[in-house]
């Protein structure tokens, strides 16, 4: 941290003032050991408005100004996907610990460079995969690792949101890192990786338009198991997930990535246990808690969202895009 003692609150900066930054700032304001210290936008007016709304002490009209503020302990990066690499690099180069929104970069080699920079500078770095920090998700992983459903054989997860196509929307712009893969598929893929690791084989298909994927499906094969994952902007779904083992199943409530409930069943599908946890604020508080905990304990890598896992997931997404023939303008 930057001059903090264990009793001090963590001083946060936010780069970017879009929709997700607003959600994060609401959570930040409700975390007792965190200080909403500085916000930066591309214009000073937007930064001032954002700072006033959420009680930040300072506002900056450029990201560089915030990155150079010596009083900031951690920076949350909430800019468009294509900007994550550059904005995170700016912060790490200026000695700031970083929580970077997902998907963390466009590809694995950008991430490798950031991780090396963080290691070289002795800094904390974590992808903002809030799902992995939430109580319901952590309970499901506790059941899996406690062998509650035996050896895992199959996992199915979907994350589909119907979004009308708009060529100006960042979700559909290749220059913004758009597409269902980086925006949605990272969630079911993270779930599968957390339980099964790196697959031996990937079979995937996508519906492409103007350089981005509108929909995608992945079949991940392991030695004695498989995962089926679907993501799309073209149709809605219940966005649920099921983990199947030899002794039972784990079933998330709808919207598995932010579900408030998860249930454990035996092999005859008799309900054994249900775990429910409502958010203290809006769900983003758990990743803030994790970063704060890591900083207080001198950790540079989160045990809940380890850098190695984030890198392996990015490498899987690289392979998916390779099979689709999809490359972002920055990669050409």
Hey, which residues are catalytic here? 102
CA angle 262, 267, 269 (to 5 degrees): 55
In whole angstroms, what is the distance from residue 311 CA to residue 79 CA?
20
Q: Which of 220, 230, 216 is nearest to 152 (CA)?
A: 220
In whole angstroms, what is the distance from residue 208 CA to residue 321 CA?
10
Please enumerate in sequence order all residues whose Cβ is within 8 A of that of 122, keeping only pairs 6 or more positions apart, or say none.
Answer: 300
Phi then psi for residue 30, to 5 deg, are: -95, 0
In whole angstroms, what is the distance from residue 50 CA to residue 199 CA?
42
Cβ atoms of 266 and 183 closer than 8 Å: no
Q: If phi over 0 gives left and psi between -120 and 50 gives alpha, with beta otherwise, what is residue 283?
A: left
Cβ atoms of 37 and 8 closer than 8 Å: no
Q: What is the 3-state secondary structure (H, E, C) of 26-92?
A: HHHHCCCCEEEEEEECCCHHHHHHHHHHHCCCEEECCHHHHHCCCCCCEEEECCCHHHHHHHHHHHH
Cβ atoms of 166 and 294 closer than 8 Å: no
In whole angstroms, what is the distance from residue 113 CA to residue 125 CA?
12
By DSSP bridging, strand 74-77 and strand 10-15 are parallel
Residue recorded with tokens 């990201």: 63
Cβ atoms of 131 and 187 closer than 8 Å: yes
């Amino acid at each position: 941290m930057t001059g903090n003692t264990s009793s001090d609150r963590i001083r946060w900066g936010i780069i970017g003032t879009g929709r997700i930054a607003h959600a994060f700032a609401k959570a930040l304001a409700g975390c007792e050991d965190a200080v909403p210290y500085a916000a930066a936008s591309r214009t000073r007016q937007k930064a001032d408005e954002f700072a006033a709304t959420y009680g930040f002490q300072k506002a900056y009209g450029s990201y560089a100004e915030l990155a150079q503020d010596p009083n900031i302990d951690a920076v949350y990066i909430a800019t468009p996907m294509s900007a994550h690499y550059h904005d995170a690099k700016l912060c790490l180069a200026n000695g700031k610990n970083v929580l970077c929104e997902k998907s963390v970069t466009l590809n694995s080699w950008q991430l490798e460079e950031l991780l090396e920079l963080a290691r070289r500078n002795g800094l904390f770095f974590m992808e903002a995969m809030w799902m992995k920090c939430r109580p319901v998700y952590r309970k499901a992983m506790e059941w899996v690792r406690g062998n509650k459903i035996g050896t895992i054989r199959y996992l199915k997860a979907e994350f589909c949101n119907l979004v009308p196509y708009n060529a100006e929307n960042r979700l559909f712009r290749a220059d913004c890192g758009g597409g269902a893969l980086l925006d949605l598929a990272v969630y079911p893929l993270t779930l599968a990786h957390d339980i099964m690791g790196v697959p031996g084989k990937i079979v995937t298909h996508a519906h492409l338009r103007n350089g981005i994927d509108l929909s995608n499906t992945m079949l991940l094969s392991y030695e004695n198991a498989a995962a089926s994952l679907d993501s799309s902007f073209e149709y809605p779904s219940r966005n649920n997930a099921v983990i199947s083992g030899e002794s039972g199943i784990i079933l998330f409530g709808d919207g598995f990535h932010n579900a408030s409930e998860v249930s454990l069943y035996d092999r005859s599908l008799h309900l054994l246990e249900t775990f429910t946890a409502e958010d203290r604020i809006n769900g983003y508080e758990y990743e803030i808690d994790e970063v704060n905990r890591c900083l207080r304990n001198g950790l540079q890598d989160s045990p809940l969202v380890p850098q190695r896992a984030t890198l392996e997931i990015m490498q899987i997404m690289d392979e998916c895009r390779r099979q689709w023939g999809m490359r972002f303008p920055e990669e050409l």
